[in-house]
Amino acid sequence: MNRHDLLRKIANDQPLTPAEEAWLDAELAQEQAVPSCLKSLPEETPSLAWRSSLNEQLRALAPAASARPRRLWKWLTGGSLALGVASSIALVLIWQHRAGLTSPAPSPQVAPSVEAALIAAHQEGMSQIEFSAPSKSSASGSNTATEEFQWSEVDLESL
Amino acid sequence: MSTFTGVTRLSANQRFESASEQALIEQCRRQNFDAFGKIIDLYQARVMGFVRRMVRNAEEAQDITQEVFIRAYQAFERFDGRSSLRTWLFRIAYNLCVDRARKVERSAEEITLEGTADEPALEFADDRWNPEAVALDQELASVIEAGLNAMSEKLRSVLILHDREDMGYDEIAQALDIPVGTVKSRLFLARNALQEHLNRYWNGERRA
C-alpha cells in the first residue's frame, strides 16, 4: 500500500479499498493526542446577558408560535359553548311542549269526586267553625260573620 | 483547572439524555417555554463552543448561537426524533455557520483539502504529546485555536464534533449530511493539519 497514494485518495475523498479503510480506521482509533488537546480547551460559558437576550427573543416568538392553537381552541370552545347553550334551551322547550301535549287530562270520573270531597270537607269545616264558641281574637270579626250570614227561621228555632 | 472537564460534562449530559430528554422533547413540541429553557441550559455551552470555533468573531458566534436556539424553538414541531437532539442542534448550528461563511469570503490562509493531502503524517514521539502529561496553558490553548482557525470549515467541523464533542461517525454524518467515509477522511486530514500546526509551534518554541 503506497502511503502517498492513499493520502491523496483520502484527500480527494475517493473510495478506499477494504485494506485501506482498515488502515484508516486503525489510524483514527489510535490517535489520542489531538482529542485530548481539544477536550482540554476551556469551555465557552455564555453570559447571563446573552441568555437574557435569547429569552427575550424567544418570549417574543412564543405568542406567535402558540397563536394558531389558541385561536383554534377559542373557536372550538366558543362554538361548543354556544352550541351547548342553544341545545339546552331547545331541549327544555321541546320537553315543555311535549309535556303540554302528553299531560293527561283530568279524568271526569276522578276529578268530581275529589272536588266533591274537598267541598264537603270545606263545608264541614265551616259548619264546625260556625257552631264553635268564638274566641277573643275572632270576637271582633263576629259582627261581619253575622252580617254576612243570613239566619233562617228554622235555624233560629233550633238554637 | 479546566483540563478534561469536557469528558465529565459529556457523560453527565448523556445520562440526562437517556433519562429525561424524551420528556423534555415532548414538552418542547407543545411549545413549552420552560422545557425549552432546560434544553438551552443543557446545550448552550456546547453549541456556543462549536459555533465559536467555526466563526472567528466572538460576537457573531453569540448571535449565531442565539439563532440556533431560536430556529430550533420555531421548528421543534418538525423535529421527528430520527436523529438525537444533539445532532439536530449541531446540524442547525453547522448550517448557520456555512450560510454565514458563504456571505463572508474565507481568507486565503485556510488549509484546503488539497493542501493537506501531501503533508506527511506526523509522529508524536515527543513525550510532551502524551495526553496525560500535557498541561495546557493559555498560550497553548490559543495555539490550538489558531490551528483550528487555519483549517477549512469542512475539516474543522468534523474535528470538533468528533474530538471535542465525542460524536460518533454516524452522528457526524447525519449532522453534516455527508457519507461516513467522508467523515473519516476529513477527521484524518484535520488531525494531521492540527498536528502540523502544533509541531510548528513546538519547533519554534524550541528554537526560541
Residue A152 pLDDT > 80: no
Closest by Cα among B5, B9, B16, B8 to B39: B16
Measure the CA–CA gap between B186 and B11, rounded to whole angstroms. Answer: 25
Beta bridge partner(s), residue B111:
B151
CB contact (8 A) between residue B163 and residue A10 = no
Q: Grid coordinates representing A141?
A: 270579626
Q: Is residue A9 part of a domain?
A: yes
Q: How confident is the model at residue A78 (pLDDT cuts 50, 70, 90)?
A: low
Can you tell me the mean pLDDT for A42-58?
A: 91
Q: Is residue A53 part of a domain?
A: no
CB contact (8 A) between residue A46 and residue B65 = yes
Measure the CA–CA gap between B181 and A37, rounded to whole angstroms. Answer: 24
- The reply to whether A73 touches chain B by the CB within 8 Å rule is no
pLDDT at position A85: 80
What sign for the dihedral angle of Cα A97, A103, A108, A110?
Answer: negative
Can you tell me the mean pLDDT for A143-147?
A: 50
Contacts of B127 (CB under 8 A, 6+ apart): B133
pTM: 0.61
Q: Is residue A13 part of a domain?
A: yes
Q: Which domain holds residue A7?
A: 3-33
pLDDT at position A94: 86
Measure the CA–CA gap between B140 and B71, rounded to whole angstroms. Answer: 35
CB contact (8 A) between residue A24 and residue B144 = no
Domain boundary among B103, B137, B157: B103
pLDDT at position B129: 52
Kindly state whether residues B94 and B131 are assigned to the same domain: no
Please count the structural domains in chain B. 2
Q: Is residue A144 part of a domain?
A: no
Please count the structural domains in chain A. 1
pLDDT at position A159: 64
Q: Grid coordinates representing B7?
A: 469528558
CB contact (8 A) between residue B121 and residue A7 = yes
Q: Which domain holds residue B28?
A: 5-103
The domain that holds B118 is classified in CATH as 1.10.10.10
Q: Is residue A156 part of a domain?
A: no
Kindly state whether residues B131 and B170 are assigned to the same domain: yes
Q: Is residue A124 part of a domain?
A: no
Give the Cβ contact number of residue B45 at 10 Å: 16
What are A3-31's pLDDT values in tens digits?
Answer: 788 888 888 888 888 988 999 999 999 88
Contacts B129 to A, Cβ<8 Å = 33
pLDDT at position B88: 94
Closest-CA residue of chain B to A55: B37
Domain boundary among B71, B103, B135: B103
Residue B163 pLDDT > 50: yes
Kindly state whether residues B120 and B203 are assigned to the same domain: yes
CB contact (8 A) between residue B144 and residue A38 = yes
Measure the CA–CA gap between B5 and A79, rounded to whole angstroms. Answer: 57
Measure the CA–CA gap between A35 and B159, rounded to whole angstroms. Answer: 9
Give the Cβ contact number of residue B66 at 10 Å: 22
Contacts B162 to A, Cβ<8 Å = 35
pLDDT at position B203: 83
Kindly state whether residues B95 and B141 are assigned to the same domain: no
Kindly state whether residues B144 and B72 are assigned to the same domain: no
CB contact (8 A) between residue A35 and residue B163 = yes
Q: Specify the higher pLDDT residue, B114 or B68.
A: B68
pLDDT at position A116: 86
- The reply to whether ipTM tops 0.95 is no
Q: Is residue B108 part of a domain?
A: no
Q: Is residue A48 part of a domain?
A: no
Q: Which of A13, A39, A62 sits opposite B31 (nearest CB)?
A: A62
pLDDT at position A158: 66
Q: Specify the higher pLDDT residue, A60 or A71.
A: A60
Q: What is the mean pLDDT of chain B?
A: 79
Residue A145 pLDDT > 80: no
CA distances from B146 to B55, B133, B134, B149, B165 (A): 12, 22, 18, 5, 19
- Give the closest-approach CA distance of B42 to chain A in angstroms: 12
Residue A87 pLDDT > 90: no
The domain that holds B19 is classified in CATH as 1.10.1740.10
Q: How confident is the model at residue B10 (pLDDT cuts 50, 70, 90)?
A: very low
Measure the CA–CA gap between A22 and A82, rounded to whole angstroms. Answer: 72
Closest-CA residue of chain A to B122: A31
What are B113-141's pLDDT values in tens digits?
Answer: 444 444 444 444 444 455 554 555 678 88
The string of DSSP letters for A52-66 reads HHHHHHHHHHHHHHH
pLDDT at position B172: 96
Domain boundary among B68, B83, B103: B103
Contact by Cβ (8 Å): B158, B177: no
Kindly state whether residues B78 and B133 are assigned to the same domain: no
Kindly state whether residues B133 and B166 are assigned to the same domain: yes
Q: Which of A8, A28, A65 sits opposite B31 (nearest CB)?
A: A65
pLDDT at position B46: 93
Q: Is residue A29 part of a domain?
A: yes
- Give the closest-approach CA distance of A14 to chain B in angstroms: 9
Contact by Cβ (8 Å): B148, B194: yes
Q: Grid coordinates representing A5?
A: 497514494
CB contact (8 A) between residue B5 and residue A12 = no
Can you tell me the mean pLDDT for A82-99?
A: 82
Kindly state whether residues B50 and B81 are assigned to the same domain: yes
Kindly state whether residues B64 and B152 are assigned to the same domain: no
CB contact (8 A) between residue B134 and residue A36 = yes
What residue has cell string 437532539?
B85
